[in-house]
Structure 1
Amino acid sequence: MQVGVIGLGKVGVGISKALLAEGHDVIGYDVSESSRQQAMDVGVDVASNNAAVAEQASTIILSLPHPEISREVVETICEHGTPETVVFDTSTLSPSTAETLAERATAAGMHYHDCPITGGAVGAAAGELTVMAGGDNERLRDHRDVLSAIAEDVYHIGDVGDAQLVKLIHNQVGQTVLLIFVEGLFLAEERGVDPAVLYRTLRHYTQIYDDKLDAFFGNAFDEAFVDHFVPESEDVRLGPDQQFNLREAHKDLVELEELADAHDVHYPVGSFAEQEHQMAMNAGYGDRPHPDVLELYEELFETDVESRADRREKSRGQIL
């Protein structure tokens, strides 16, 4: 099957690689010349524009950075695609935006599904994403060969827009955990507990946060712990590909806060997280990786949080 991929950034090109690995032909487009070249290098048939993708593929996956771009691209697909075209939108949007895009697709005789993902560029390239899907369940099942090529797990959440709500809550939980962890780092600093020990214990031994802290920090603190305690053969550190910037994190929090307001839902912790992210944005951290919020707190409280050998020596790691 020929599958269209619009948006060939890190995640989009990863999705393309996973599709190609499973024997699908991929035609794609991105406004960035460097992204188009990268996609071409892995075997994607790069089209001249989004319209050309819509004309040649009846199954299209979107991986786009902003709601306005999603609107423009879906409009192009509706204008240039064929009836019964199926769109799987992996972008993170508000539920209402997803509903609007689905209505536009339906009016054009097409089928739109909101399919936000977790797993980032690494998961995309390995075909190990988790997809939260909204829309017609039978049509999703009919396209399991495409979805299974890019995802390890696909969960049908409900109607179009429902999957976006779950993804926004997922992001909000992670972003709030980050703020709480940063607060904990300052308490550990005052007590003399090394941040690498705190990080490794919460992440790997108690498993309270699953992969949340890894996703945000890329195992920055884990590096010190691994170097101190773990043989090289057991090194499981992640790279920086799963980090995203504060502006993106803040966008998701705003979307969810607006939804809470619209439904008159009590939302104090989420509002606090949004306010703290807004403070970071105002301080010029918008385009910096999300974990850099720690540096902002270090500036505010005039305290450096760093892993030190003398503190790591106090801990013997996992002994049983």
Structure 2
Amino acid sequence: MSVRKEIKALAGIENNTTSHTEKMICAAGVFVGVMVVYWISAGVLSEPTGHTLMVASLGASVVLLFATPHGALSQPWPVISGNVISAAIGVACYKHIPDPYLGAATAVSLSVAAMHYLRCLHPPGGATALTAVIGGNEIHDVGYHYVLNPVLINVVAIVLVAVLFNLVFSWRRYPAHLTRRHKKTAETVPDKIEFELTQEDFAAAMQQMDSYIDVTSDGLTELLELAKQHAETHKTQPANIEAGLFYSNGRIGRSWSVRQVVAVNNIANPDKATVTYQTVAGHGGHESATCPRAKFLQWARFEVTQEGGRWVKVQAS
């Protein structure tokens, strides 16, 4: 690796594969978002009250919402809850911890912990908590009202603006779930993949998405390698299909799904046995159907169970 490339790698300078159009859309979205939120806040605070109209940390939230609208940290729950919870923690720390140094550090650290446990990690929330402690008399005088105004009003407004603004662009639906629903899942997926994904494939895919992704291509390939190693060391195949259990087809992407077996009928004659199931996650969510047991067994890659909000393989005993 050349010295120049080594310096870029150490500094974390990644190639930005987004088009010029996408970059301009991001900038326009930020402009519209800040203007509208400021206008809404000014309308709510039509009378002089000593409040600040907009919390400074919203500037960071706006960047996430319009530059990475499909990112996990940019979704409505993290944006709203992350900021509001952090604001409440910040006010509490200011009121109950006299030392400003200790109060500031405690506010941010408790906010991060709370956001982690409540699944609403949003980096600007740390700044929202910090502002409550070191924001000066204008913030201190309003106490817990700071949580409602400007924080709650600001974040609800910016989420609504992001939803409406991104509706104009089919590839930028917000929240991210709308993008996944907008895209069609392929009707057929080959049972066996007879090619290896490469670094170049990831780079091309990232460019094709034309949206800033908060992960490097190296990080994606490393994640794939770890997933492949996990698959190789955790090979399972259901020996039988039992009612009440959950099974996954082991696919990747939008064709992945998990089904719960509701009933297995005519077990005495395996050739004529049928399976009634309900899809509980992934493609075809909440649909119910009945199919031959042999067909279901061919579909099912392994049994799964839910742990900590995610589906994990059940190891064969």
TM-score, normalization: structure 2?
Answer: 0.25
Q: Which has the higher helix share?
A: 1
Higher relative contact order (CA 8 A, sep 6+): 2
Structure (1 or 2) with the larger CA radius of gyration: 2
